[in-house]
Homo-oligomer: A and B are copies of this chain.
Amino acid sequence: MTKRGDETRARLIAATKDVVREVGYAHATTKAIAGAAGVAEGTIYRHFPDKVALFFSAALSGSQALIEELATLPELAGSATVDENLEHALARLLVLRQDLLPLELALNSDPEIARRRQAMDAPDIVPGLPSPPEAISRYLDAEASLGRVRADVDSRQVSLLLLSALFGLMLAPGTDPSSPHPASAQIGPLVHLVLDGIRGSGSSRA
């Protein structure tokens, strides 16, 4: 409510992301988070009902930045090249998602937490803005109407493919989640592949 309170809350959310990134979800204790935020442990509970709620808030705040970033993508249709636009969007996504990855992972892989997340309304949607898959899908539709992308492909499928691959790349074995640019070098080839396909002349779909 007060200015000081809001500041503390923001510091706690930032500290949560930092600590989870540095030591992993399992070792992101309330003590460590409070320490990183420069407040007492008990202060956490003035701002969040419990630890999981703090993690949800942290994940949500990360998602929002990400969603806002992607919302402008459809407007780029027709400018530069399709490759460049997608590459750039995915690269931004990679950076933004980087520091909330462990959080998303934990939030999705712990059944108890997943259950609770569903109990909350609309987990990570910013009102009025399209979700990441939706934003990319709209961009592709716009390019399709310009003829820069084939009109007979399902833009939702492509969007899902790109995002899944990006997500998968971030988790590739050997990747250190705390290093600055883990698999960003893979984004270019990935985009080109999806644009051009690999089918040879001797092959045809069943």
Q: Which residues of A contact B (CB under 8 A)?
A: 22-27, 80-84, 101-102, 104-106, 108-114, 123-124, 140, 143-144, 146-151, 153-154, 157-158, 160-161, 163-169, 171-173, 175-178, 186, 189-190, 192-206
Cα separation A34 to B27 with both chains bound (whole Å): 24
Set B165, B178, B206: member contacting A168, Cβ < 8 A: B165
| Contact between A205 and B195, CB atoms less than 8 A apart | yes
> Chain B: which residue is nearest A156 at the CB level?
B189
Tell me how far the C-beta of A113 lies from the nearest C-beta in chain B, rounded to whole angstroms.
8
| Contact between B147 and A105, CB atoms less than 8 A apart | no
- Main SS class of interface, A: helix
Tell me how far the C-beta of A17 lies from the nearest C-beta in chain B, rounded to whole angstroms.
14
Task: Given the known inter-chain contacts A23-B111, A81-B203, A168-B166, please indicate yes or no for A189 contacting B105, CB distance below 8 A.
Answer: no
Task: Given the known inter-chain contacts A148-B203, A198-B153, please indicate yes or no for A171 contacting B108, CB distance below 8 A.
Answer: yes
| Contact between B193 and A147, CB atoms less than 8 A apart | no
| Contact between B123 and A200, CB atoms less than 8 A apart | no
> Chain B: which residue is nearest A188 at the CB level?
B157
Cα separation A190 to B157 with both chains bound (whole Å): 7
Measured between beta carbons, the chain B residues less than 8 angstroms from A192 are 205
Measured between beta carbons, the chain B residues less than 8 angstroms from A166 are 164, 168
Most buried by B among A110, A165, A192: A165
Cα separation A129 to B130 with both chains bound (whole Å): 45
Tell me how far the C-beta of A114 lies from the nearest C-beta in chain B, rounded to whole angstroms.
7
| Contact between A206 and B83, CB atoms less than 8 A apart | yes
Tell me how far the C-beta of A42 lies from the nearest C-beta in chain B, rounded to whole angstroms.
13
> Chain B: which residue is nearest A157 at the CB level?
B189
> Chain B: which residue is nearest A189 at the CB level?
B157
Set B23, B144, B163, B200: member contacting A200, Cβ < 8 A: B144
Task: Given the known inter-chain contacts A102-B109, A163-B168, A164-B165, please indicate yes or no for A148 contacting B195, CB distance below 8 A.
Answer: no
Measured between beta carbons, the chain B residues less than 8 angstroms from A102 are 109
Measured between beta carbons, the chain B residues less than 8 angstroms from A25 are 26, 109-110
